Amino acid sequence: MLIGEHAAHLARVLRAQAGQEFDIAADGVVRRGRILSVSENRVEFQLGEEVESAPVAQVTLALAIIKFDRMEWAIEKCTELGVARIVPFVARRTDARLAAAAVKRVERWRRIAREASEQARRVAPPEIADPVKLRDVLALAGETRVVLSEVETVVSLRGLCGAGGSSLLLAVGPEGGWTNQELQAFAEAGWKAAALGPTILRAETAAIAAMAVVMIQTT
């Protein structure tokens, strides 16, 4: 049974009717469900067979806070691509006004991730962490920890993904890129620098492209 906002969306927007079938995430799996009855804020289903859900890569994306429309785009698309966790953080070149306002945007980011997860037929949405500082990102644990760097010319993300490992931690910098001091801090903390290609990408493009590379290499 579905109640509340989701039921209202089915009834009012999608105009769902008895007999229609939808994929439903329930009890940790995705099942095919057939509608039995529909009211304004309540939809009853009969659950059927389990269907294959979208794979979730064991990837944590540490994403520097950028302009909110682009941040939301990155969160939505990385969710569709299977990211397990997103950690927003404040980098040196993060706009101070965006950094100050980020805490109030977290619930919106979580809602975007939840809706994108449902669209992508994921069992559960990625975790969207509260914003942190760079020093907290440097201390994050992962079997493979990679900072995407526009100045790296030898090591590619694709090559590092191909090296194996059960968990991957990716760091994507802000608009304007990393400072030399930040890249040095990553190196001193044991992170590996990698490039996505020869061109300079926007932060949100880099995040989405990196997740696409990871998914191709790990699924």
* Over residues 7-32, mean pLDDT: 68
Residue 56: its pLDDT value, please?
Answer: 58
Q: How confident is the model at residue 36 (pLDDT cuts 50, 70, 90)?
A: confident
Lowest mean pLDDT among 121-125, 163-167, 190-194: 163-167
Tell me the mean pLDDT in the region 135-149. Answer: 92
13 has a pLDDT exceeding 60:
no
Task: Please report the pLDDT score of residue 59 as a whole number.
Answer: 92
Spacing of C-alpha 40 from chain mean position: 32
> For residue range 52-97, what is the model confidence (pLDDT) as tens digits?
655 556 899 999 999 999 999 999 999 999 999 999 999 999 999 9
CA dihedral 203, 208, 209, 214 (to 10 degrees): 130
pLDDT at 99 over 60: yes
CA distance 170 to 184: 16
Taking all residues of the chain, what is their mean pLDDT, rounded to a whole number? 86
Instruction: Give me the phi and psi of 67, to 5 degrees please.
Output: -50, 135
Quick check: 111 pLDDT over 70?
A: yes
Domain 59-218 has what CATH class? Answer: alpha beta
- The token pair that represents 81 in the structure block: 């691509």
Give the Cα separation of 136 and 3 in Å (integer): 39
pLDDT value of residue 60: 95
Segment among 4-8, 122-126, 185-189 with least mean pLDDT: 4-8
Please give the residue that has the higher pLDDT: either 202 or 56.
Answer: 202
